[in-house]
């Protein structure tokens, strides 16, 4: 799995959230609001934490993140796109001839190492047969958009994600939970590792408040 943070805006999310919080309480010109934040030590921290504590989550929607996600299964992306307050663009199986690549579950909950290895090999055998059948159908003139019906949910895919901080906070709370499936939990862990340095105050409570 490869998770990349392509971009985020604005450049200083913590400071921008604090500015938005001040705007909701201060009718002054925006230059004055920015100056007051620079002059009063600790105000950025107080306002960002206050927004979270007081439930003013709307101010987090002004911060946006762009991600690229590769080498994941369609099982993961089917779960991910349920979080509707985000924008997604996924590798198309309708116009792209799908390669023989797939994600094998870790099966970490099976303690017997020999049994776990055997079962993972079974996954791979089934996957290979499904891709073989797919290639056969395409070679016989079946359109890739129809041949893909035989492919497994474990096939690898790629997806682009655009999401605001409020929605991303919800995704992380849901998918960092120990009850979340292993693959999407790994994705959430990698996302958090990438975004935490961009806004240390905003993300300090994740995953503590899960």
The set of catalytic residues is 175
Is the Cβ–Cβ distance between 200 and 167 less than 8 Å? no
Q: How many CA atoms lie within 13 A of 133 on its CB side?
A: 13
d(CA 49, CA 170): 17
Phi-psi region of 141 (alpha: psi -120 to 50; beta: other; left: phi over 0): left
SS3 111: coil
Q: Tally the residues of the chain.
A: 210
Helices (H) and strands (E) in the chain, counts: 8, 4
User: HSE on the CB side for 178, CA within 13 Å?
Assistant: 2
Contact 17, 60 (CB under 8 A): yes
**Partners of 161 in beta bridges:** 67, 88
CB neighbours of residue 125 within 10 Å:
10
Q: Tokens for 141?
A: 């003139």
């Amino acid at each position: 799995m490869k998770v990349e943070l392509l971009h985020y805006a604005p450049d200083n999310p913590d400071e921008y959230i604090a500015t938005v919080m001040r705007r909701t309480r201060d009718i002054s010109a925006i230059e004055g609001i920015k100056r007051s934040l620079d002059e009063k030590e600790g105000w950025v921290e107080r306002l960002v934490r206050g927004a979270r504590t007081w439930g003013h989550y709307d101010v987090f929607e002004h911060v946006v993140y762009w991600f690229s996600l590769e080498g994941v299964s369609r099982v993961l992306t089917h779960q991910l796109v349920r979080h509707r307050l985000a924008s997604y663009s996924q590798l198309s199986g309708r116009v792209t001839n799908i390669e023989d690549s797939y994600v094998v579950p870790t099966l970490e909950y099976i303690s017997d190492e020999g049994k776990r290895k055997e079962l993972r090999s079974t996954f791979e055998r089934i996957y290979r047969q499904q891709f073989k059948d797919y290639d056969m159908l395409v070679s016989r003139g079946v359109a890739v958009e129809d041949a893909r019906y035989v492919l497994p949910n474990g096939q690898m895919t790629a997806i682009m994600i655009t999401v605001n901080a409020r929605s991303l906070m919800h995704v992380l709370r849901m998918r960092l939970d120990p009850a979340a499936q292993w693959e999407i939990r790994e994705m959430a862990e990698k996302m958090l590792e990438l975004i935490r340095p961009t806004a240390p105050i905003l993300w300090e409570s994740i995953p503590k408040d899960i």
